[in-house]
């Protein structure tokens, strides 16, 4: 499984919550790669830079992009983004690049931070993001070119590494540079050094993605991790083998990956949702399905992640599956999702007690919405289950 392929698919959603930010990370990746090519960086440096560009705003919450943090040594969202990735050995370099991507050059004083040399990739990413934020996306790019160059020159070496600046000035004379900004031609095939994941590495990455998803959603600070913990706990008590438990845990981590593409205004609404808003939110498991289908070679994980709102009686969504059409493993994730959601606070309500949650789920099982056997395992082990849930 390709790390770059997965993150290309995921980053599409990261940029979707605000219309003005759509495809921001993709454009920043294209600009960064063009500058890195001009500077003749190594393939590994280019690869790390592209990955960093795709994830550089993971910690930006639901806010519009802004470089107002450049007066700070390390911006809040850059630090947050890097922390999401810091526990993943194969993304350690990426975490460092992102951490310093708003670090100003400051006429050469910004070459180091506390004796640590700022990566050239961070300096490229800094300029690339400024370029993308300097023009009106609704206008023809060549009409905006001079305005962009002027804005970059005004900031100059106070913000940007002069070598990176000069590379941009040379590239900016070519129409092709501007046209390539909006092309989606970065693929895993571009990099022979692309990292390939086994199931254990994917588990590590999916946990980091869950942290990003939960942070970006705001309403569910630990929801995806709780679902993963509950689902794997239930799977263990159902007698599944270790390999299957890992895959179920990954499915729990990724089940809401489609939610980061939804409007933050609706997700954070502090009142009961309207019928129209409820219908809008119903798209998120389908977006999970589409994202994983593009990038994950494990068909079982795609299905188990995407079916978490399906119901045994056919009254779920978005695929309207019923009975045996829903695998046992997907039923496990669905029950974990419901139980976790009931216990957690949401903007429009407080979480309910364990006793009320159990009674509600017993009713769902009785009426054919959820699997009775799996609910029974949850009920019988409810005291032990408390140890894996964090509210």
Lowest-pLDDT range of 3-17, 50-64, 137-151, 348-362: 50-64
Is there a common fold for 3-190 and 201-388?
yes
Lookup: tokens for 110: 């910004």
Report the pLDDT value the prediction gives residue 68, as an integer from 0 to 100: 46
pLDDT top residue among 246 and 117: 246
CA 57 from centroid of its chain's CA atoms: 9
Lowest-pLDDT range of 186-190, 271-275, 376-380: 271-275
Matching residue, tokens 């943090």: 69
Lookup: tokens for 147: 């305005």
* CATH class in words for 3-190: mainly alpha
CA 261 from centroid of its chain's CA atoms: 9
> pTM for this structure?
0.93
Phi, psi at 60, each rounded to 5°:
-85, 5
Phi, psi at 39, each rounded to 5°:
-80, 0
Half-sphere exposure of 367 (CA within 13 A, CB side): 11
Half-sphere exposure of 46 (CA within 13 A, CB side): 21
Domain ranges across the chain: 3-190, 201-388
The pLDDT confidence band at residue 19, using thresholds 50, 70 and 90, is low
41's CB contacts (< 8 A; 6+ apart) are 49, 120, 121
The pLDDT confidence band at residue 265, using thresholds 50, 70 and 90, is confident
pLDDT top residue among 355 and 61: 355
Q: Average the pLDDT over 230-252 and give the result.
A: 99
117: helix, strand or coil: strand
Q: Distance (Å, rounded) from C-alpha 210 to C-alpha 206? A: 6
Q: Is the peptide bond before 183 cis (omega within 30 degrees of 0)?
A: no
Q: Average the pLDDT over 76-89 and give the result.
A: 91
69: which DSSP letter?
G
Q: Distance (Å, rounded) from C-alpha 370 to C-alpha 110? A: 57
20: which DSSP letter?
G
pLDDT of 269 > 80? The answer is no
230: helix, strand or coil: helix
Q: Distance (Å, rounded) from C-alpha 55 to C-alpha 85? A: 9
Report the pLDDT value the prediction gives residue 225, as an integer from 0 to 100: 96
pLDDT of 271 > 90? The answer is no
* CATH class in words for 201-388: mainly alpha
Q: Distance (Å, rounded) from C-alpha 258 to C-alpha 286? A: 7
Q: Average the pLDDT over 20-30 and give the result.
A: 89
Tell me the average pLDDT of the chain.
92
pLDDT top residue among 72 and 148: 148
179's CB contacts (< 8 A; 6+ apart) are 141
Residue 191, number of CB atoms within 10 A of its CB: 19
The pLDDT confidence band at residue 378, using thresholds 50, 70 and 90, is very high
Alpha helices in the chain (DSSP H): 3-14, 24-38, 43-55, 76-85, 92-99, 120-132, 141-159, 162-171, 175-180, 199-217, 223-237, 242-254, 264-267, 275-281, 284-295, 299-306, 328-343, 354-366, 372-380, 382-385
Lookup: tokens for 186: 């970065």
Q: Average the pLDDT over 346-372 and give the result.
A: 94
pLDDT of 183 > 80? The answer is yes
- Residues of the chain with pLDDT > 90, as a percent, come to 79
Q: Average the pLDDT over 2-29 and give the result.
A: 87
- Residues of the chain with pLDDT > 70, as a percent, come to 95
């Amino acid at each position: 499984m390709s790390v770059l392929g997965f993150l290309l698919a995921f980053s599409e959603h990261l940029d979707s919550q605000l219309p003005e930010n759509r495809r921001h990370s993709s454009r920043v990746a294209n600009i960064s790669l063009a500058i890195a090519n001009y500077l003749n960086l190594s393939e590994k440096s280019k690869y790390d830079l592209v990955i960093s560009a795709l994830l550089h705003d993971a910690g930006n919450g639901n806010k519009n992009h802004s470089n107002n943090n450049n007066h700070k040594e390390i911006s809040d969202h850059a630090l947050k983004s890097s922390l999401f990735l810091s526990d993943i050995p194969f993304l350690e370099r990426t975490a460092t690049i992102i951490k310093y991507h708003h670090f100003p050059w400051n006429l050469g004083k910004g070459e180091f931070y506390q004796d640590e040399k700022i990566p050239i990739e961070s300096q490229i990413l800094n300029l690339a993001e400024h370029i993308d934020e300097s023009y009106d996306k609704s206008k023809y790019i060549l009409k905006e070119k001079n305005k962009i160059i002027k804005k970059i020159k005004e900031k100059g070496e106070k913000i940007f590494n002069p070598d990176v600046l000069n590379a941009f000035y040379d590239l900016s004379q070519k129409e092709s540079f501007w046209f390539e900004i909006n092309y989606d031609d970065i693929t895993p095939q571009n990099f022979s050094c692309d990292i390939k994941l086994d199931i254990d590495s994917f588990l590590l990455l999916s946990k980091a993605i869950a942290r990003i998803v939960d942070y970006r959603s705001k309403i569910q600070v630990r929801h995806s991790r709780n679902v993963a913990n509950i689902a794997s706990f239930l799977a263990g008590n159902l007698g599944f083998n270790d390999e299957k438990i890992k895959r179920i845990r990954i499915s729990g981590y990724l089940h809401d990956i489609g939610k980061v593409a939804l409007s933050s205004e609706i997700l954070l609404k502090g009142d009961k949702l309207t019928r129209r808003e409820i219908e809008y939110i119903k798209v998120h498991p389908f977006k999970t399905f589409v994202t994983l289908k593009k990038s994950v070679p494990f068909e079982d994980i795609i299905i188990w992640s995407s079916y978490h709102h399906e119901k045994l009686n056919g009254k779920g969504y978005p695929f309207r599956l019923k009975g045996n059409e829903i695998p046992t493993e997907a039923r496990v994730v669905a029950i974990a999702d419901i139980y976790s959601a009931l216990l957690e606070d949401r903007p429009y309500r407080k979480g309910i007690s364990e006793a009320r949650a159990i009674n509600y789920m017993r009713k769902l099982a009785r009426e054919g919405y959820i699997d009775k056997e799996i609910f029974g395992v949850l009920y019988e082990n409810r005291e032990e289950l408390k140890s894996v849930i964090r509210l």
